[in-house]
A and B are shown apart, each in its own frame.
Chain A
Amino acid sequence: MTRPSTLTREQVARIRAAAAVLLPGHAESPAADVLPDYDELVQVAAAAVGEGRALPAAIEALPDEPTWESLSTLADADPASFEQVSLVAVGAYFMSPAVLASLGLPTGERRPADREQVVDELSTGILDAVYERGCPVRTLDDVNGATR
Chain B
Amino acid sequence: MNELSTSRLDVLVVGAGPGGAVASHTLASRGFSVVCLEQGDWVNPGDMPGTKPEFELLTRGQWSVWPNERQGRADYPLNVDDADADPIMFNGVGGGSVFYGAHWMRLLPSDFRVRSVDGICDDWPIGYEDLAPYYDQVDRFIGVSGLGGDPAYPEHDYPLPPHPIGPGGIQMAQGMNKLGWHWWPGANAIPSTAFKNMGQCVRWGLCERGCPVGAKASFDLAYWPHATAAGAKLVTGARVARITVDRQGLANGAVWIDVEGRERRIEANAVVLAGNGIGTPRILLMSDDQHPDGLANSSGLVGKNLMLHPVNSVLGTYEEELAAWYGPAGQLIYSLEFADTDASRGFLRGAKWALMPPLGVLHVLDHLQEHSFDARWGRHVHELASYTGRSMIWSGVIDDLPAESNTVSLDRAATDSSGLPGAKLDYRRDENADRMVDFMNARMVEAHEAAGATRTLTAPLTESGHLLGTARMGDDPATSVVDAWGRAHDVPNLFIVDGSVMVTGGSVNPTATIAAMSLRTATHVAETARDQRVPA
Contact = CB atoms under 8 A, between A and B. Distances in A.
Contacts of B362: 87, 90-91, 94
A94 B361 contact: yes
Interface stretch (A9-17, A57-65, A68-76): A68-76
A29 interface: yes
Interface string B184-210: 110000001100000011111000000
A118 to B, nearest CB: 4
B53 A95 contact: yes
B292 interface: no
Interface string B51-68: 111101110111000000
A109 B57 CA distance: 19
Q: Pick from A1, A90, A118 the residue with the most CB of B within 10 Å.
A: A118
A136 B182 contact: yes
A85 interface: no
A23 B382 contact: yes
Contact of A2 (B54, B184, B326): B54
A115 B54 contact: no
B165 A118 contact: yes
B299 to A, nearest CB: 24
B213 interface: yes
Q: Pick from A25, A87, A88, A103 the residue with the most CB of B within 10 Å.
A: A103
B183 A130 contact: yes
B110 A136 contact: no
B346 interface: no
A106 interface: yes
Contacts of A68: 377-378
A36 interface: no
B203 A112 contact: yes
A110 interface: yes
B83 interface: no
Given A29-B385, A103-B388, A134 B151 contact: yes
Given A111-B327, A136-B336, 6 more contacts: A1-B54, A90-B365, A103-B385, A103-B386, A110-B203, A134-B151
14 contacts: A24-B382, A26-B382, A26-B383, A48-B58, A48-B61, A49-B60, A95-B54, A121-B164, A130-B182, A136-B337, A138-B109, A143-B116, A146-B113, A147-B117
Interface of B: 51-54, 56-58, 60-62, 108-110, 112-113, 116-117, 123, 127-129, 147, 149, 151-152, 154, 161-166, 169-170, 173-174, 177, 180-185, 192-193, 200-204, 213, 321, 325-327, 336-337, 339-341, 360-362, 365, 373-374, 377-379, 381-383, 385-386, 388-389
Interface of A: 1-2, 21-29, 44-45, 48-50, 68, 71-72, 75-76, 86-88, 90-91, 94-95, 97, 100, 103-108, 110-113, 115, 117-118, 121-122, 126-127, 129-131, 133-140, 142-144, 146-147
